Amino acid sequence: MNRIDFIKIDIEGSELYALQGGKETLKKFRPYVLIEINSPTYKAAGYSVADVKNFFDEIIYEPHHVDKLGNLVASKSLPDFGNVIFVPR
């Protein structure tokens, strides 16, 4: 495979485990990653929104959201629920 540009992950509480399993792929190809943040589901799965943020911090990605005009905008924090696009720095 020559490139991966974008990955969407919405797997009801298994997001962090999928990210951990794909860490080397993320580091190699540096795609944008859209992930559904869902604090209650994460908690039930044994991890937190902070764990997801720490994962992306470690591989040097920053959270963004799409504003009402369709622009990709850097986010200062993560929501308890909603879609976030992580962009490599």
Residue 44 lies in a domain: yes
Q: What is the pLDDT of residue 83?
A: 96
pLDDT for 71-80, tens place per residue? Answer: 999 999 999 9
Residue 1 lies in a domain: no
Residue 59 lies in a domain: yes
Residue 46 lies in a domain: yes
CB neighbours (10 Å) of residue 49? Answer: 19
CATH number at residue 75: 3.40.50.150
**Domain that includes residue 47, residue range:** 6-88
Q: What is the pLDDT of residue 56?
A: 98
What's the whole-number mean pLDDT along residues 62-88? Answer: 96
Residue 31 lies in a domain: yes
Residue 78 lies in a domain: yes
The total domain count for the chain is: 1
pLDDT-based confidence at 52, cuts 50/70/90? Answer: very high
Q: Check: CB of residue 42 under 8 Å from CB of residue 52.
A: yes
Which among 66, 41, 65, 56 has a CA at the least distance from the CA of 89? 56
pLDDT of 19 > 80? The answer is yes
Q: What is the pLDDT of residue 7?
A: 98
pLDDT of 1 > 80? The answer is no
